[in-house]
Amino acid sequence: MAATRTGLIATGSYLPKDEVGNAEIAARAGVTAEWIERKTEIVSRRYAAPDEATSDLATHAARNALDQAGLTADAIDYLVVATSTGDFPQPPTSYLVQDALGAFRAACFDINVVCSGFVYALEVARSLTAGRPGSRALVIGADLYSRILDFEDRRTAVLFADGAGAALLGPVEEPFGLLGADLVSRGDAHDLIRVEAGGSRNPASAATLAEGGHFFRMNGRGVRDFVAEHVPPALSALTRRLGVATEEIDHFVPHQANGVMLRELVGSAGLDHAVTHRTLHKYGNVGSASVPVALDEAHRDGAFSPGDLVLLAGFGGGMSIGSALLRWGVAA
């Protein structure tokens, strides 16, 4: 029998139907549509319907991945949801997705590492499946930012949106599969991205609502500086540890933070030769869903060939960086 390792055997994604263009956002944020596109390279984004929550988006993406794999929900051993905008403080969003799918064999939990969440969850799921040969894990990144945006804050209102992406992990034949990952956490920069109210330190109250404490806040300049300083070395450290030259990378699937930032990152990381997969222009920044949504679109478009080296990179609140390298292949 061929040797196996854990790899991606299917992908899925879901974007809400409500498309919101720059003109609508510009009118609320006090800028122009041209300013938004020039500063971010975003043209449109999707917002969830009033009756949709994060678990609904995640469930749709999960079903699409299962359908692609030709599997039912009872084939899942682990179900991990990466989100910073869960349906409720409790219960975990993953349990709501489990119930909706009927995946009652699966052990479930959430991960909140903001925009790095999917890559962190991928590595946790890889570790779990590696310790249980033949098992499968469904990893979902899902966020619904439109409910926590201050539309008068142009630093955030023009960027963030809603979506979900999923990947189904299972055994693939070597040399394919996930080759390794690196997870970087920098709590000394925790104040760059935050929601200040609604937790145990600053519980929800009439005062926190009046002060806008439940809105998503971001120090855009600080985030950009953090990414420029820390992400390229993190990516280089991963490839060097795995014995892969940067020039060997065929595809780069990064977090879709900001189009201008992405172009700068590709250059500084030495990845100009790789195909960088972008969905930002049409979906905006969908948080932990960014990487799996871009991955799924590239997969369904036939962008990957067996043996291609695919580099995934998430970065965001915490501050955090998650990178993973996989050799594209097929299920064992």
Residues involved in catalysis: 115, 255, 285
Give CA–CA dist 330/322, Å, rounded.
Answer: 24
How many helices (H) and strands (E) in the chain?
11, 14
Looking at residue 160, the DSSP 8-state letter turns out to be: B
**Token duo for residue 235:** 């990516």
Give CA–CA dist 253/218, Å, rounded.
Answer: 23
- At residue 200, φ and ψ (nearest 5 deg) are -75, -25
Secondary structure class of 258 (helix, strand, coil):
coil
Give the C-alpha distances (Å, rounded to integers) separating 231 from 28, 237, 291, 316, 323.
32, 10, 15, 10, 9
Residues whose CB is less than 8 angstroms from the CB of residue 8 and which lie 6 or more positions away in sequence, other chains included: 167, 168, 169, 172, 177, 178, 295, 326, 328
Give CA–CA dist 32/237, Å, rounded.
Answer: 40
**Token duo for residue 133:** 């040969």
Please name the helix (run of DSSP H) or strand (run of DSSP E) that holds residue 156, with its range, or none: helix 154-157
- Alpha carbon dihedral 16, 22, 26, 29, in 10-degree steps, equals 40
Residues whose CB is less than 8 angstroms from the CB of residue 37 and which lie 6 or more positions away in sequence, other chains included: 22, 43
- At residue 222, φ and ψ (nearest 5 deg) are -65, -40
CA-wise closest residue to 143 among 185, 87, 98:
87
